[in-house]
Amino acid sequence: MRISPEIESLLSLLSRLPGLGPRSARRVVLALLKNPQGKMLSLAQALEQAASTVKTCSVCGNVDSSDPCLICSDPTRDQSVVCVVETVGDLWALENSGLYRGSYQVLGGVLSPLAGQGPEDLNSRSLFHRIEEGRVKEVILALSVTVDGVTTMHWLQEKLKPFAVAVSQLGQGVPMGSTLEGLDDGTIAAAFAARKVVNG
């Protein structure tokens, strides 16, 4: 395609973003090119602003423009409950559901012998620091139900045993609105294992 190097490099950067490919990158650039001084520059500035302000929260590992993050410094949230998640994306998904009003611990991954990821690679120190200071009453383990996720939850359970904190795990089973067809074997197995008597 005969196109200016400036547009070419923009297309190339965009097409490597998750969920975008060459075709959708072209659609995005065409939309931005309709208003280069408006939409396009606003997006450039928003990216710069975000890049220059983002920090990792020293309390929970969340990404935000303040440290501690907005969640850790929110007095209306229950800081004595900590939900342990794998990634900031998981935190966002939970925040988006609007269900949860406690705090988080973002591990940044799970234990993975295959990927050479050990306990020292996880962001768990600040969780135990909070627990040792007596600021935590309950820990909710919300890691993904994969081999590595389950291993990591077991490891955390062991590490949490010496402390007087309640430890729980998210319920496992068939997702709401979902049929069995299309679920992976692990989810079906977990749903069977978690079956409940419903006739008293």
Contact residues: a second copy, CB under 8 A? 1-7, 9-10, 13-14, 17-20, 24, 26-33, 36-37, 39-54, 63-66, 69-71, 74, 77, 87-89, 92, 95-96
CB of 182 vs a second copy, minimal distance in Å: 19
CB of 140 to a second copy, least distance (A): 17
* Residue (51 or 164) nearer to a second copy, CB: 51
Q: Indicate whether 60 belongs to the interface with Zn ion (CB under 5 A).
A: yes
By CB under 5 A, what part of segment 2-41 binds Zn ion?
none
Residue 103 Cα distances to 4, 99, 162, angstroms: 48, 12, 21
Residues 70-99 binding Zn ion (CB under 5 A) are 72
68 versus 149: smaller Cβ distance to Zn ion? 68
| Cα angle 34, 40, 44; round to 5 | 170
Residue 4 beta carbon to Zn ion: minimum distance, rounded to whole angstroms: 11
- Contact at 8 Å (CB) between 60 and 104? yes
By CB under 5 A, tell whether 62 contacts Zn ion.
Answer: yes
CA-CA distances (angstroms) from residue 100 to 23, 71, 72, 81? 37, 11, 13, 10
Minimal distance in Å, beta carbon 77 to a second copy? 8
Instruction: State the nearest-atom distance from the C-beta of 105 to a second copy, in Å.
Output: 16
Nearer to a second copy, 53 or 168 (CB): 53
User: How near is the Cβ of 79 to a second copy at its closest, in Å?
Assistant: 13
Where does this chain touch Zn ion (CB under 5 A) — which range of 13-21, 27-35, 57-65, 143-151?
57-65
59 binds, among a second copy, Zn ion, none (CB under 5 to 8 A by kind): Zn ion
> Residue numbers of the site for Zn ion (CB under 5 A)?
57, 59-60, 62, 68-69, 72
